[in-house]
Copies of this chain bind each other. A is one copy, B any other.
Amino acid sequence: MRNFNYYAPTQVVFGKNKETKVGELVKKYGGTKVLLHYGGQSAIKSGLLAKVEESLKNEGIEYVKLGGVVPNPRLSLVREGLEICKKENIDFLLAVGGGSVIDSCKAISSGRYFDGDVWDLYLKKAVATQYMPIGCVLTIPAAGSEMSDGSVITNEEGWLKKDYCTDDFRPKFSIMNPELTYSLPAWQTACGAVDIMMHTMERYFSKDDDMEITDNIAEALLRTVKDEVKKVLKNPTDYSSRAQIMWAGSLAHNGLTGCGTSGDWATHNLEHELSGMWDVSHGAGLAAMWGSWARYTCKENITRFARFAVNVMGVTQNFRSAEETAEAGIVAMEQFYHSIGMPTSIPELIGKQATDKEIEEMANKCSNNGTQTIGCLKPLSKADMIAIYKMANK
């Protein structure tokens, strides 16, 4: 087992009606004047925003609202939030929404006391030393940002998408009421489930083979999400299944499933380029790429793929052939993706095949013009990336 750090200090307040506790929690963590950050109309229409405002008022906490966060949250709105925070002496950030809203809050948090341009932090040109505290009311289980240390922001000038990670980004509290996810459409629910599973799988598929406890927990989490998402798609107001998925989303990305492992993350990198080129949903893009990545790299640790097949996908082990067991597991995963309405290829994702030129462009970006590899299980060169994109293009 590799040496590791595990640090997940976020207080999770989980269950029905817990959003009414938000005022108390902001107060507990020292907030007196809040930037209430959210996305579009759904938080308003559902009445959630009004509930949150009422809870803040009940505790005598002032707030300024800033909506308009979009998927792949934008730097321009972060800058707007920073202006408000400075002008209004805001001392606490409250995210009401999913990963994009939380990531936008994290960016504002890092820029608040930083004497320079916040984008330089995401370009790793500088490091902030002081951060604003963040709290969350989560409405979309997927990104895991409600307990994670990461934030991804898109700069509209050049459409650069960059991440910044620090333990200071971990929220002080996250309120999770599964009922708030009842209204998520089937497509978004399925994309979220894929994202959650992939956060676990990126850490699971490594060359390390001596972290039994982490592997066992990862498999437990994957089986749970795989089974529960099907129930939710049949019955969107199944509280128990919504709850399992919501909690799994946090555990999949708070560090727990990576304790003692190395992690791969190549599928995420390959998908980033798909999102950049066709603005597809992250989860759907991951589903479209994973099978091809798996077939291309599985020989690097075939017993692990066989184990995944048996322990997660419920495949009957072929004791004479780890290769056949592994392949059966990949097929089963693709069947699962199809069963929840997810694509398993680029044509299924974007409705047409990618051209050779588009594949070349994606591989160029992903490999920084052939100068960088991605992934740990098998470090992938630009040529490898092209091969995988082509496998996924059939």
Contacts of A259 in B (CB 8 A): 14, 247
Binary flags per residue of A46-64, CB closer than 8 Å to B gives 1, else 0 = 0000000000000000000
A211 to B178, CA, bound (A): 13
Which stretch (A215-223, A287-295, A353-361) binds chain B?
A215-223
Interface residues of A in 42-89 (CB under 8 A from B): none
Binary flags per residue of A331-373, CB closer than 8 Å to B gives 1, else 0 = 0000000000000000000000000000000000000000000
A8 to B8, CA, bound (A): 7
Binary flags per residue of A232-266, CB closer than 8 Å to B gives 1, else 0 = 00000001100110011001000010011000000
The chain B residue sitting closest to A11, CB to CB, is: B7
Q: Are A4 and B9 in contact (CB under 8 A)?
A: no
Task: With both chains docked as a complex, state the minimum distance between the C-beta of A235 and any C-beta of chain B, in angstroms.
Answer: 14
Contacts of A214 in B (CB 8 A): 247
A220 to B251, CA, bound (A): 14
Contacts of A15 in B (CB 8 A): 1-4
Known: A213-B224, A220-B220, A224-B212. A6 touches B12 (CB 8 A): yes
A162 in the interface (beta carbon within 8 A): no
Task: With both chains docked as a complex, state the minimum distance between the C-beta of A258 and any C-beta of chain B, in angstroms.
Answer: 12
Q: Are A1 and B213 in contact (CB under 8 A)?
A: no
Q: Are B8 and A14 in contact (CB under 8 A)?
A: no
Question: Given B178, B212, B239, which contacts A228 in the complex, CB threshold below 8 Å?
Answer: B212
A300 in the interface (beta carbon within 8 A): no
Q: Are A212 and B11 in contact (CB under 8 A)?
A: no
> Can you give 21 A-B contacts (C-beta < 8 A)?
A1-B239, A1-B240, A1-B243, A1-B244, A2-B15, A5-B12, A5-B14, A6-B14, A7-B12, A210-B240, A212-B227, A212-B244, A213-B224, A213-B248, A213-B251, A214-B247, A216-B220, A216-B221, A216-B223, A247-B260, A256-B256
